Structure 1
Amino acid sequence: MTELNASDLTLTPSPARRFSAAAMLVLLALILVWVVSRPEGLGLGWSAMLVAMAAGALFLAWKLWVVTGQRLILTEDELRQENGPVLCRIEDVAGVERGTFAFKPSNGFVIRLKTRAPRGWAPGLWWRLGKRIGVGGVTPAGQGKAMADVIAARVAGMGRID
């Protein structure tokens, strides 16, 4: 576990959402395998595609389960995954979007960056593409809203000269 300071804010995945998301992916894989095993047969090409999709769903379920066992930590300087990568530095944040019509994960928010960042993805927790980072998925709405507000306040505070 990572050592936290009193001023650090965390975003911890919800155990119920974590379980249900992984279970849905496993269920999808089982349904795909069941369709392939039907006696009517689909042909070799379709069967191979459905088996590959089932394997992909199982891989995603495993990856989601492992990744969502960690939390996101917002420090004074950065947003990072516990025992994982730094998602962004606060000085690189251009803004935060969490409105109804924002393209964001469930119960989450989007961080707009000033510069492009390498792509990354932690299923159910965050994604990063270009100048945007989506945070949320299997996380509680209240914690996500609080973290988005704190990031927005820190970014607004950086523009002032005292």
Structure 2
Amino acid sequence: MSDDILARIEVSALLRWIGLGALLAVGGLLVWMALAGPDIAAPWRVLLLALAGLALALGARMHGATAVGLELTPEVLRDGTGLVLARVDEIEAVERGAFAFKPSKGFLLRLKAKKPRAWMPGLWWRWGRRVGVGGVTPGHQTKAMAEAIQMLLQERG
């Protein structure tokens, strides 16, 4: 496998901290509502605490996921840890339009075959034949990577 990196996406520190701050604020607000609300029934308190735990766990997962970026080589699209999102020969099309179901400031890859579901909050997700890239990433870097993938697809024929 070639290690020539054609395009790289680094996470925007400002957007990362805004996203993490929002999740932590929601989690903290839910804990406060569950504990400080005087007339809340016990089942609702439990539900609020469970939702707070979910928000805080999602924040922790997003913190770990956004610590690395994405890299495109002539063979694969992978994250900074080496986890392969998709092989270039598996990619059927790149969607970047305004009405594409894609992450914020990102793009969508349509694959030839289904792959296992995976999700790194704020960076990418994979569901069936679709891979969404974007979120807390700079728009100019995701645009450059999408164009590089389109060029690889055109070279492939």
User: Residues 5-34 of structure 1, C-alpha deviation per residue, up to 9 Å, x if partnerless?
Assistant: 554311010000001100100000111011
User: Residues 66-89 of structure 1, C-alpha deviation per residue, up to 9 Å, x if partnerless?
Assistant: 110101010010000111410000
Q: Which ranges in structure 2 are unaligned for 5 or more consecutive residues?
A: none
User: Residues 27-53 of structure 1, C-alpha deviation per residue, up to 9 Å, x if partnerless?
Assistant: 001110111123423111111011011
Q: 1:14 to 1:39 in 2, by over 3 A?
A: closer
Q: Is the 8 A contact 2:115 2:126 kept in 1?
A: yes
Aligned partner of residue 102 in structure 2, secondary structure: coil
Give me the TM-score of the superposition, normalised by structure 2: 0.95
Q: Is the 8 A contact 2:4 2:73 kept in 1?
A: no
Amino acid at match of 1:85: L
- Distance apart, 1:137 and its partner CA: 0.3
Cα distance between partner residues in 1 of 2:31 and 2:145? 40
Q: Which ranges in structure 1 are unaligned for 5 or more consecutive residues?
A: none
Q: What RMSD over aligned residues (CA atoms) do the two structures have, in Å?
A: 1.3
Aligned partner of residue 37 in structure 1, secondary structure: helix
User: Residues 117-138 of structure 1, C-alpha deviation per residue, up to 9 Å, x if partnerless?
Assistant: 0100000000000000000000
Match of 1:103 among 101, 104, 114: 101
Aligned partner of residue 113 in structure 1, secondary structure: strand
Match of 1:61 among 59, 62, 67: 59
Q: After TM superposition, list the pairs within 5 Å mapping 1:29-44 onto structure 2.
A: 29-44=27-42
Q: How many residues align?
A: 156
Cα distance between partner residues in 2 of 1:44 and 1:54? 15
- Distance apart, 1:152 and its partner CA: 1.0
Give me the TM-score of the superposition, normalised by structure 1: 0.92
Cα distance between partner residues in 2 of 1:157 and 1:84? 25
Amino acid at match of 2:102: K
What is the aligned-residue identity percentage?
Answer: 40
Residue 24 (structure 1) aligned with residue 6 (structure 2)? no
Match of 1:145 among 121, 143, 146: 143
Q: 1:114 to 1:47 in 2, by over 3 A?
A: same
Farther off after superposition, 88-97 or 40-49? 40-49
- The residue aligned with 1:80 is 78
Amino acid at match of 1:124: G
Cα distance between partner residues in 2 of 1:154 and 1:89? 11
Aligned partner of residue 48 in structure 2, secondary structure: helix
- The residue aligned with 1:93 is 91
Moved over 6 A (4+): none
Q: Is the 8 A contact 2:5 2:71 kept in 1?
A: no
Cα distance between partner residues in 1 of 2:4 and 2:116? 30
